């Protein structure tokens, strides 16, 4: 059976650390920022870990 290709859209949006954690950016952080409070915008900064079934599915899409 041939190898599966990694999903290129997922490849751009998600990364896997050496220990196997899956990290992604927050949504809602790119536009219409004027109406969002400063506290809310600060929460969008940085990365967030993915857990559970979503983590398994993302790793499968990346071929990890």
Write out the residue range of the structural domain in which residue 15 sits: 8-28+36-62
DSSP output for the chain: -PPPPPPHHHHHHEEE-TTS-EEEE-SS-SS--TTS-HHHHHHHSSEEE--HHHHHHHHHHHT-
Is 2 a domain residue? no
pLDDT recorded at residue 2: 87
Confidence band for 3, pLDDT divided at 50, 70 and 90: confident
- How many separate domains does the chain show? 1
Is 18 a domain residue? yes
pLDDT recorded at residue 1: 81
Is 51 a domain residue? yes
pLDDT recorded at residue 26: 94
Is 1 a domain residue? no
pLDDT tens readout for residues 6-64: 999 999 999 999 999 999 999 999 999 999 999 999 999 999 999 999 999 999 999 98
Is 43 a domain residue? yes
Q: What is the pTM of this model?
A: 0.82
């Amino acid at each position: 059976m041939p190898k599966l290709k990694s999903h290129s859209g997922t490849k751009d949006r998600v990364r896997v650390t050496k220990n196997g954690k899956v990290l992604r950016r927050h949504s809602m952080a790119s536009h219409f920022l004027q109406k969002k409070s400063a506290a809310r915008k600060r929460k969008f900064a940085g990365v967030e870990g993915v857990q559970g079934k979503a983590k398994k599915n993302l790793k499968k899409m990346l071929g990890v």
